Amino acid sequence: MTDPRRPLAPVRTRTISRRGFLAVGAAAPLALGAGRASARENPTLGTIERLDPALDDLIAPDARVERVAESSGWIEGPVWDRAHDRLLFSDTMANTVFQWSRGEGLSVFLKPSGYTGSVPRGGEPGSNGLTFDHDGSLLLCQHGDRRVARLKADGSFQSLADRYQGKRFNSPNDLVVKSNGDIYFTDPNYGLLGENHDQGKELDFTGVYRLAADDGEVTLLTRELDFPNGLVFSPDEKTLYVGNSGFKRAIWTAYPVADDGTLGPGRPFGDVTPMVGERPGLPDGMKVDDRGNLFATGPGGVLIFSPDGKHLGTIATGSACGNCAWAEDGSVLYIAADKHVGRLQTKTSGRIPGPAKA
Cβ neighbours around 315 below 10 Å, total: 27
Reported as a pLDDT band with limits 50, 70 and 90, residue 198 is: confident
What is the per-residue pLDDT for 32? 47
Single-letter residue type at 257: V
pLDDT class for 5, splitting at 50, 70, 90?
very low
Question: Cα–Cα–Cα angle for 266, 270, 276, nearest 5°?
Answer: 125
Tell whether the torsion through CA atoms of 1, 214, 207 and 311 is positive or negative: negative
Decide if pLDDT at 36 tops 70.
no
Band (37; pLDDT cuts 50, 70, 90): very low
Check the CA dihedral 281-283-285-287 and report its sign: positive
β-sheet bridge partners, residue 222? 208
Q: How large is the average pLDDT for residues 14-26?
A: 27
Q: What is the pLDDT of residue 26?
A: 30
Q: What is the structure's pLDDT at 187?
A: 98
d(CA 102, CA 36): 8
- Looking at domain 24-345, its CATH class is mainly beta
- C-alpha distances (whole Å) from 324 to each of 11, 33, 66, 123, 305 are 23, 18, 14, 22, 14
H-only helix segments in the chain: 27-30
What is the structure's pLDDT at 321?
98
The dihedral sign for the CA sequence 348, 334, 316, 293: negative
Q: How far apart are CA 221 and CA 306, in angstroms?
A: 25
- Least confidently predicted of 161-175, 195-209, 301-315: 195-209
Enumerate residues 6+ apart whose C-beta is below 8 A from 208. 184, 185, 186, 187, 220, 221, 222, 223, 225, 228, 231, 242, 263
Residue pLDDT, tens place only, 127-180: 999 999 999 999 999 999 999 999 999 999 999 999 999 999 999 999 999 999
Of 34 and 180, more confident: 180
What whole-number percentage of the chain has pLDDT above 90?
83
- Count of CB atoms situated within 10 Å of the CB of 180: 11
Considering the chain, what is the average pLDDT of its residues?
89
Q: How far apart are CA 10 and CA 153, in angstroms?
A: 10
- The whole-number pLDDT of residue 174 equals 98
Q: For the chain, percent helix, then strand, then coil, each to nearest 5?
A: 5, 40, 55
Q: Decide if pLDDT at 339 tops 60.
A: yes
Give me the mean pLDDT over the 230-241 stretch: 98
- Mean pLDDT of all residues in 180-184: 98
Does residue 325 surpass a pLDDT of 50? yes
DSSP letter string, 68-129: EEE-SS-EEEEEEETTTTEEEEEETTTTEEEEEETTTEEEEEESSSS---SS---SS-SEEE
In this prediction, residue 195 has a pLDDT band, given cuts at 50, 70 and 90, of confident
- The reported pLDDT for the residue numbered 200 is 86
